[in-house]
Amino acid sequence: MANVYEALDNKSCVDCIYLDFRKAFDSVPHNKLLLKLWKSGIVGPLWDWLHVYLSERRQCVVVNGTTSSFLK
């Protein structure tokens, strides 16, 4: 973030990307998506972040204050 603030202070151009992953990947097999991204050249820290985000997810449902067991 320091680089962003510095660029803004210097009146430089700052590019920002907003991502909304709430349901974007729910219907896509994550392993196939990750492989396709890797083959497309999306590697390094961005790929690592996506891999952790898509691989380390757990889901549950809350109804009237009662929480189901977590699914991985």
Tell me the pLDDT tens digit for each residue of 6-24: 888 998 988 888 777 666 6
- DSSP three-state, residue 62: strand
With a cut of 80, say whether residue 2 has pLDDT above it: no
Phi first, then psi, for residue 55 (nearest 5°) are: -95, -25
Cα-based angle 57, 69, 53 (whole degrees, multiple of 5) = 5
Task: Give this prediction's pTM.
Answer: 0.47
Cβ-contact 37, 47 below 8 angstroms: yes
